[in-house]
Amino acid sequence: MQGKKILVTGGAGYLGCVLCPLLIERGAELRVFDRLYFGESGLLSVLPRDCFELVKGDVRSVEKFPWLLDDVWAVVHLASLANDPSCDLSPTMAEQINHVGTIKLAQIARSRGVERFVFASSASVYGACGDKLVSELSPLSPVSLYARLKIKSERALLGMSDENFAVTVLRQATLYGYSPRMRFDLAINLMTMSAVEKHEIIVMGGGAQWRPFLHVKDAAMAIMTVLSSERNLVDSEVFNVGSNEHNLMIRDLAEIVAGEVSETRIKVAPDDADRRSYRVRFDKIKERLDYRPSLSPAEGVREIAAALREGRLSEPYSSKYFNVIHLKHLMNIPVAEGGESSRTAMLKNRLPAISSRDRERLSDRLKSVADGQLGDPIGSFESSLRETFEVPAALLLHSHYLALLGAFSLLDRDSSKRIVIHPFADARVYAAASQLGLSPIICEVDERTLCFDLTKLEQHVEKGVSAIVAGSILDVPEPLETLQSIADESRCALIVDAHNLLSATVHDRDIASYGSVAVLDFGVDQTVTTLGGGAMLLDDSSLKEQVWDFLACRLAEGPQPFVQRQLGLAAVSAMLGASNLERLYDTAATCRNLQAVYDELLSESPYLRTVHPLEGTQRSGSCYPVFVDFHRLTIDAWRLEQLMAAEKVEIALPKDSAAQIAIARSRGQARKGPTNISPVAAELLSQLIFLPLYSGMTTDDVADAAQALLKLISYFARSE
């Protein structure tokens, strides 16, 4: 190893702090890559910083360190969540660190010409084997996620081994003994600490379980032995690391500890959730590599007891000595404040609902186009819309905005130019109405239901309006039968803007089938997408040509000459939309199930208000709005957005609503816009955020997003 560069991942951990000085003594050039969950003090206490290179980083994002493996001869991979409880705390995080990160590291190492890769596995892969002695050839019987991930990584790594890349797997027995980065969540270490501090040892499960034990120094020496051995002896090999003599029952182990620490009582508890029991043969490493552990459990007990008595291990019950407790502590701290996120990849707020089936269908239809069999994709999509929503006519257009212009063009603007809109109506509703000379009036919102305040709505209608526009960005369906009655009595139109509401229902009827016209949005983040586009659903098929002619004239009057594609939807977009539409209700059901998971996780927080539809209505599943009481936090919405991004969760703030236009106008930040925004709506708007929601998400994704939000709220809550 003299002069060879070795990368040790997890080198600042329990085993790493013992191994690294040995590598330096043998003349190796050392580079340590560690997340430093437990700091760097353990490593720096045994090695001066100038004799090795310490790189702080996470194995989950090892690709961000392209120089990490420059000139490296061997990788010793120790980095992992190092026991069962830590993996159980966040299975997703465990998978990413213990398996995905492992394989990613090995792939990069092999591509960069690294010759050796030593993987620290665990004898816990043998699981529940009872009294039977097991060897490297025995069937594996894991009983924990930690062990299953070790097996999964072993198999993948061994499959990568080739003539230039030698992989060695070391299934280590349960470690014990003193380390500069001490752990008291290991059996012998914990028993010794309890004996010294309390003069008591508690043996769980009756103590008849078998375990093999290995001193941490002997574990380090096993790695040194593998690195020093000829390649042909260790290439593609699995070795159990320990000694046959140190297979012990837990109750016998307790007797050893009690024998070394005087006046220690042993208490036996009958139950234990840990089902592991295994005895392991260590003949292979002894015979192949002439490796023999040199230290006994009794010696390990004595050195730990001495360190405790001499004050070298202060506050032994501190979380820093217990992996899962410390990790749980870190996961309760924002990433921006030095804490930990369970996620590696960013959870996007919205993604198009495009499935592999959609891609296949689109590909097939494009092949038909190439063969001269285009057909009529526009007509086919419009027909599907008519059948799905049971309306007389459907008109596909280039954008949601054009669909709104078309809807407003049908109004009797001579009787009244006023239209009533929701405070949380999409901003395009206000813009389109204003372009046609209409006067949008923002109605008050019912603070309880988040729908129109019906009393205020009727007052506006009594003054004369040409239309009520139902729809908001909140995925809260209005009581459309009531609104239709109000519209009929006042002889005004009811327009349903189904942006964010497609597939929502009122009394088991699609909201898009209500009103004289419904406007659909097929934007990239909608339940049905054409990656841009919109549509009108009409209750009178004769109006279709009228709308088309109006919009064509409008575009011809604009700064650009009229071009057909500016008005209508492209054929390929219609193909995608038609495929998407077939899955509309399945997609919506998936998203509503995710909304229900959010509801369950967030409903108990006193700082949050989740959104619930009126009785008899059903949400579309298009988004997940939640109101945050920022008055009780030390952060505002913009800071929360940044902090959530650090947690790898993208939230969205409301950026395009009628209420925001009104607020901007009142502050002099906009020259045009309504000014009649109420304090209730303004306050609700200031509290509104949107959590991630799309059909490709999993319940684990929802849990990650909810837990990240709850963590930040708890951390930044004002003291009361």
Quote the CA–CA distance of 326 and 331 in Å, as a whole number: 9
Q: What is the pLDDT of residue 563?
A: 39
Q: How far is Cα 233 from Cα 318, in angstroms, rounded to an integer?
A: 43
Residue 710: what pLDDT?
Answer: 97
In whole angstroms, give the CA distance from residue 281 to residue 135. 5
Residue 531 confidence (pLDDT): 84
- Write down the pLDDT at residue 183: 96
Give me the pLDDT at residue 560, please. Answer: 44
On whether both 307 and 429 belong to a single domain, the answer is: no
- Tell me: pLDDT of 272 over 70: no
In a domain, 344, yes or no: no
Distance separating alpha carbons of residues 580 and 388, to the nearest angstrom: 12
For 214, residues 6+ apart whose C-beta sits below 8 A from its C-beta are 172, 173, 174, 175, 176, 241, 242, 243, 246, 293
**Confidence at 351, pLDDT banded by 50, 70, 90:** confident
Say if residue 359's pLDDT is above 80: no
Q: Pick from 582, 616, 649: which residue ends a domain?
A: 582
DSSP string, 252-285: HHHHHHHHHSTT-EEEE-S--S---EEEE--HHH
Crossing angle, helix 571-582 and helix 584-602, to 10 degrees? 60
Total number of domains constituting the chain: 3
Cα 479 to Cα 167, 391, 465, 590, 614, distances in angstroms: 65, 20, 19, 24, 8
- Torsion sign over Cα 227, 230, 233, 237: positive
Q: Which residues contact 570 (CB under 8 A, 6 or more apart)?
A: none
pTM equals 0.82
Per-residue pLDDT tens over the stretch 534-548: 999 999 999 999 999
pLDDT value of position 146: 95
Answer whether residue 128 shows pLDDT above 90: no
pLDDT of 240 > 90? The answer is yes
Question: Where is the domain boundary, 582, 616, 644?
Answer: 582
Q: Does position 14 have pLDDT exceeding 90, yes or no?
A: yes
Range of the domain at 684: 585-715
Same domain, residue pair 564 and 594: no
Q: Is residue 348 one of the residues assigned to a domain?
A: no
Token pair of 300, please?
């390990």
Q: Is residue 89 part of a domain?
A: yes
What is the rounded end-to-end Cα distance, in angstroms, of the chain? 60
pLDDT band of residue 569 (cuts 50, 70, 90) is confident
pLDDT, tens digit (0-9, with 9 covering 90-100), for 133-153: 999 999 999 999 999 999 999
403 vs 524 pLDDT, higher one = 403
Domain holding 661: CATH number? Answer: 3.90.1150.10
Report if residue 672 sits inside a domain: yes
Whether residues 366 and 405 share a domain: the answer is yes
Q: What is the pLDDT of residues 589-599, one digit of tens each?
A: 999 999 999 99
Checking if the pLDDT of 402 tops 90, the result is yes
Six token digits for residue 224: 């040194």
Residues 360-371 have pLDDT tens digits of: 766 766 666 555
Q: Are strands 166-172 and 116-122 parallel, antiparallel or unpaired?
A: parallel
Reported as a pLDDT band with limits 50, 70 and 90, residue 553 is confident
**pLDDT score, position 666:** 55
CA–CA distance, 703 with 708 (Å, rounded to integer): 8
In a domain, 343, yes or no: no
Answer whether residue 96 shows pLDDT above 80: yes
Do 455 and 566 fall into the same domain?
A: yes
The model's confidence at residue 565, banded by pLDDT at 50, 70 and 90, is: very low
Residues 210, 86, single domain; the answer is yes
Q: What are 379's strand-pairing partners?
A: none
Instruction: Say what the pLDDT of residue 668 is.
Output: 54
What's the pLDDT score for residue 717? 96
Q: Are residues 228 and 263 in the same domain?
A: yes
Residues 161 and 239 in one domain: yes
Same domain, 558 and 599: no
Specify whether the CB–CB gap between 268 and 206 falls below 8 A: yes
pLDDT at 639: 96
Which of the pair, 377 or 95, is modelled with greater confidence? 95
> How do residues 319-337 score in pLDDT, each as one tens digit?
999 999 999 899 999 999 9
Residues 149 and 294 both lie in one domain: yes
What percent of the chain has a predicted confidence (pLDDT) above 70? 93
- Does some domain include residue 568? yes
Tell me: pLDDT of 343 over 90. Answer: no
- CATH number, domain of 55, equals 3.40.50.720
402 shares a domain with 266:
no
pLDDT of residue 579: 87
Q: Is 154 helix (H, G, I), strand (E, B) or coil?
A: helix
CA 355 to chain centre: 20
Predicted pLDDT at 502: 87
Q: Contact at 8 Å (CB) between 713 and 331?
A: no
Task: Please give the Cα distance from 12 to 208 (Å, whole number).
Answer: 34
Q: Give the chain's mean pLDDT.
A: 90
Band of the pLDDT at 561, cuts 50, 70, 90? Answer: very low
Where residue 373 sits, what CATH number does that domain have?
3.40.640.10
Do residues 429 and 548 both lie within one domain?
yes
Out of 558, 582, 606, a domain closes at 582
At residue 524, φ and ψ (nearest 5 deg) are: -65, -25
pLDDT digits (tens, 9 = 90+) for 618-645: 999 999 999 999 999 999 999 999 999 9
Is the pLDDT at 580 greater than 90, yes or no? no
Helix H, strand E, coil C: the string for 357-411 is HHHHHHHHHHHHHHCCCCCCHHHHHHHHHHHHHCCCEEEEECCHHHHHHHHHHCC
Structure confidence at residue 334 (pLDDT): 95
Tell me the mean pLDDT in the region 269-273: 68
Tokens of 459: 């007052």
- pLDDT tens digits, one per residue of 680-701: 888 998 999 999 999 999 999 9
Residue 342 lies in a domain: no
**Domain assignment of residue 139, yes or no:** yes
Q: Note the pLDDT tens digit of each residue in 34-93.
A: 999 999 999 988 888 788 999 999 999 999 999 999 999 999 999 999 889 998 988 888
| pLDDT of the residue at 655 | 78
**Is residue 11 domain-shared with residue 136, that is, in the same domain?**
yes
